[in-house]
Amino acid sequence: MPSTSRPADARVPAARRVVFVDGVRTPFGRARKDGLYAHTRADDLAVRTVRELLRRHPQLPPERVDDVALAATTQQGDQGLTLGRTVAMLAGLPATVPGFAIDRMCAGAMTAVTTTAAAIGFGAQDVTVAGGVEHMGHHPMGFDADPNPRFLAERIVAADALNMGVTAENLHDRFPALTRERADAYGVASQQKYAAALASGRIEPDLVPVALRDPEHGWGLATADEPPRPGTTVEGIAGLPTPFRAGGRVTAGTSAPLTDGAASCLLAAEDVALELGLPVRMRMVSFAYAGVEPEVMGLGPVPATHKALERAGLSVDDIGLFEINEAFAVQVLSFLDAFGIADDDPRVNPYGGAIAVGHPLASSGVRLMTQLARQFEEHPEVRYGITTMCVGLGQGGTVIWENPAYDAEEAAR
């Protein structure tokens, strides 16, 4: 006889606050044959960041990590084989901890964060590791890719839309106010701000040293970023060539250099962080991704930020700190113009950005978050901050964060 009793209702979890516990990154290296990580595997860079998170937080039982999401734009070779799972195992997490790989090009680590944060917020997970790695020396962007010929044959994208430097030139074309002079000044300011942050001890605390082995020179230790050029001046970059277009405006001085590196962070439900004694450095408020024409990829952060602000019930005036990925100076300037923000606004990239430190594609989202968390600690008068970035093939991603150290009285002064 079939049962006549009413089946029990499933227990549906209530939404929970998601917090950023901590983030670390490797020093970034130049992606070239004699670069910092020329003889280091990409997955080993990621392993180093995960191990460092566990080392810094011994109060976290490793078995309490529910998932490991690791991003890479090129998922082959030493960046292949389901990075999240392989890195988790190599980092010494228990075999019971699962993991997966993720790809949203430049926003890979950002997407790893928001994807696992959504699982935490839903109640499916308590603690996650999210991050990304890119060894552009081993895997140049787009190398061995085979774009579907329909993209061009059916005019889905312009012929040059797959070249990120050309899309930056297109922004200069579309918005005459985005001059080369503004871009050059912004690129130099990025170098200067990074140098000042380094000198004041604001960069090193988030770095994890990486052991190096060179077949010719033996063992070494990476402790500092390789790409920055602290002596850069506007006069010095004024004559640089424009490799993406003859007579163009985008140069090496206004672009993020090709870079190797990894970054990872710990996320948790706020109640679980308090239970385990983990720090709460930021609270996630909202996030959004948006698409734009691939030909003007750099505009992606603008609609993504509008969406994230609307979902949070905030306006850009509520944002006290902006961490914007500097793929190109013109891309940041287009964002600033869209929101009526001055080029030299002190709220924007206080530690400099990717033009100085580099942009290892899929890892950069967590670098932005880690820097914002440190800036929150320095600025109790700031309640909300943004991490945002453009994404290849015409996308943008934005995450809005709340400062747990916010002091209303300090803000009122």
pLDDT value at position 145? 81
pLDDT value at position 357? 98
Residues 6+ apart with CB under 8 A from 282: 19, 20, 369, 372, 373, 376, 385, 401, 402, 403, 404
Band of the pLDDT at 151, cuts 50, 70, 90?
confident
Per-residue model confidence as pLDDT tens digits over 278-287: 999 999 999 9
Q: Is 34 exposed, middle or buried (0-12, 13-18, 19+ CB in 10 A)?
A: exposed
Residue 148 has pLDDT above 80, yes or no: yes
pLDDT value at position 159? 78
CB atoms within 10 A of CB 395: 22
0.85 surpassed by pTM: yes
Band of the pLDDT at 408, cuts 50, 70, 90?
confident
pLDDT value at position 4? 63
What's the chain's average pLDDT?
A: 95
pLDDT value at position 380? 97
- What average pLDDT does this structure show over 91-108? 97
Band of the pLDDT at 1, cuts 50, 70, 90?
low
- What average pLDDT does this structure show over 116-129? 98
Judged by average pLDDT, the poorest of 245-249, 262-266, 349-353 is 245-249
Band of the pLDDT at 2, cuts 50, 70, 90?
low
The 3-state secondary structure of 159-195, one letter per residue: CCCCCHHHHHHHHHHHCCCCCHHHHHHHHHHHHHHHH
Percent of the chain with pLDDT over 90: 87
Alpha-carbon gap, residue 22 to 33, rounded angstroms: 32
Per-residue model confidence as pLDDT tens digits over 385-403: 999 999 999 999 999 999 9
For residue 54, give the nearest of 115, 116, 131, 117 by alpha carbon.
Answer: 131
SS3 at position 88? helix
Judged by average pLDDT, the poorest of 4-18, 176-190, 214-228, 355-369 is 4-18
In the chain the domains, ranked by start, together with CATH numbers, are: 18-138+160-401 (3.40.47.10)
DSSP state of 6: P
Band of the pLDDT at 160, cuts 50, 70, 90?
confident
Whether residue 31 contacts residue 363, with contact meaning beta carbons closer than 8 Å, is answered with no
Which residues are catalytically annotated? 106, 359, 390
Residue 3 has pLDDT above 80, yes or no: no
Judged by average pLDDT, the poorest of 93-97, 138-142, 250-254, 294-298 is 138-142
Alpha-carbon gap, residue 311 to 306, rounded angstroms: 9
Percent of the chain with pLDDT over 70: 99
Structure token pair of residue 192 = 């200067």
For residue 83, give the nearest of 96, 55, 102 by alpha carbon.
Answer: 102
pLDDT value at position 6? 73
Whether residue 209 contacts residue 224, with contact meaning beta carbons closer than 8 Å, is answered with no
pLDDT value at position 171? 97
- What average pLDDT does this structure show over 192-216? 96
pLDDT value at position 147? 85
- What average pLDDT does this structure show over 84-113? 98
Residue 9 has pLDDT above 90, yes or no: no
